[in-house]
Amino acid sequence: MAAARAAADGGASRVLLVDREAKLGGILKQCVHNGFGLHRFGEELTGPEYAAREAASLGCASGAGGAGTGRVEVLRGASVLSVDAARAGEGELAVHAVSGAGAHVLRARAVVLATGSRERGAGALNMAGSRPSGVFSAGSAQNFMNLQGCLPGRRAVILGSGDIGLIMARRLASQGAEVEGVYELMPHPSGLRRNIVQCLDDFGIPLHLSRTVTRLEGEGRLEAVHVSDVDPVTLAPVPGTERRVPCDTLLLSVGLIPENEVAKTAGAELDATTGGARVDNRLATSVPGLFACGNALHVHDLVDHASAEGEVAGAAAAAYACRVARGAGAAGGAGEGDADGLREARAAQVAPEAQDAGSRAVGEDRTAHGAAADPSGRLSPSSAVSVPVLPDEGVRYVVPQRIDRATGADERLTLSLRVSRALREPRFYVEGVAADGSTRTVKKAKTMVAVPAEMVQIKLSGADVTGLSSLHVRVEGRAEDVVDAAASVRSAAESRAHVAGGGAE
């Protein structure tokens, strides 16, 4: 919704929002807890309230009624099957969708993928034993309770300490169910610190780190799970530590996976770490005219940040579509070739074949980091038109993976990243490498605590990357096996504010 509104505000002549459900809002509709909107609206909202605010900005209700405004049309109950990028270089994408009314082929100059993420299921886990009923993803259990009014069980075990699992632990306890505990494979929690305090500590629910479920027991309905300690390095179960935990419900909160099938079939380069498309600072993928944002790109902690990404992608998509339209109009008048606008739009995303030696050197470095050219022959955005952004020491990934060289000096950039392990008093360094091999520090930032579960954002400007061949992000800090979950929820907000720019050096 944020992307659609931004595209309309950005001058796109026609914007269509396609949603597979009858009501807008996605997963927000079942998130009845508060905590949404603090960054975006300056007040605390529930998920449905946040969705309603976004829908209202389009001029339509989040419910089944209404088709949007003249600026934004809404096609509800329609599923996008694929995006055909065969003519992307000519400024046209074909979106194939299906709804109750039949099959649709929607032709667009630009497409934004805001398809969200899906939960990792039990099929991706290695658990012995039977497969009884009573095993749910945390999101499914949330749907049962909040939308259908059904309690999934009376005694629950939760595997994984992701935010939705923590929130469901509180929800179950508040409705009278007994939550035996939350078991986390890793030596650190996977959810936000505030959720650990508010959902577990405040309700007396134990969090067991470096432990996992190894076996299910039950005929027909789940009767118990077997849990074991795991080695913090190899993550293998430790022999002799298994114990039986009676329960009738197991909730899986073992991670989210970007819903990237449409991007993948369209030919977009994917990031092996995030699972989403590789993008530049305008969230453009390697396919001309195709943009991605939100959890479809990388999993976010806060919907506020996902909406902000949507605005960036929507505005960039509108700008691209307008350039293509100008090019098509000019080409029609001239009667031959690509016009300036179409060439300009294509150049913003597709690298030319010829690169200088320095560009080739950096391109080889990017290939080593998983950003090779598309095997189909389509050239990937390279250092000729973009600056590669690479995760370095202590950083798991950085989004965007490249910065457009045409970015204006005053244009604001946001690097979103996650650390590889928990750190106390971390200091982040954004360092640029020039064409002559010299290195300079572009930005330094600090915070009190950094954990893999919490995304870090660092603000830059276009001027910061001028003249650079590549950008590297690393972190230094005092490593700890486990950061105390109760350690300073109040410092989390302060820390986030520092890294967001207030404490940047």
- Confidence (pLDDT) at 380: 41
- Confidence (pLDDT) at 125: 62
- Per the prediction, the chain carries an average pLDDT of 85
User: What's the Cα-to-Cα distance from 94 to each of 76, 86, 111, 154, 405, rounded to whole Å?
Assistant: 18, 8, 9, 49, 28
Same domain, 437 and 369: yes
CB 478 within 8 A of CB 424: yes
Same domain, 246 and 385: no
* Domain membership of residue 23 as a residue range: 2-115+261-328
Same domain, 167 and 36: no
Pairing between β-strand 72-76 and β-strand 178-184 as defined by DSSP bridges: unpaired
Sign of CA dihedral 370, 271, 485, 448: positive
Same domain, 359 and 498: yes
Does 333 fall in a domain?
Answer: no
Sign of CA dihedral 203, 204, 205, 208: positive
- Confidence (pLDDT) at 60: 67
User: Could you give the number of structural domains in the chain?
Assistant: 3
- Confidence (pLDDT) at 369: 35
- Low-confidence stretches of the chain (pLDDT < 50) are 65-66, 333-343, 346, 348-382, 482-505
CB 158 within 8 A of CB 183: yes
- Confidence (pLDDT) at 492: 42
Same domain, 321 and 376: no
Same domain, 130 and 242: yes
Same domain, 232 and 294: no
CA triplet 24, 30, 34: central angle to 5 degrees?
Answer: 105
Same domain, 128 and 105: no
**The residue type at 92:** E
CB atoms within 10 A of CB 375: 7
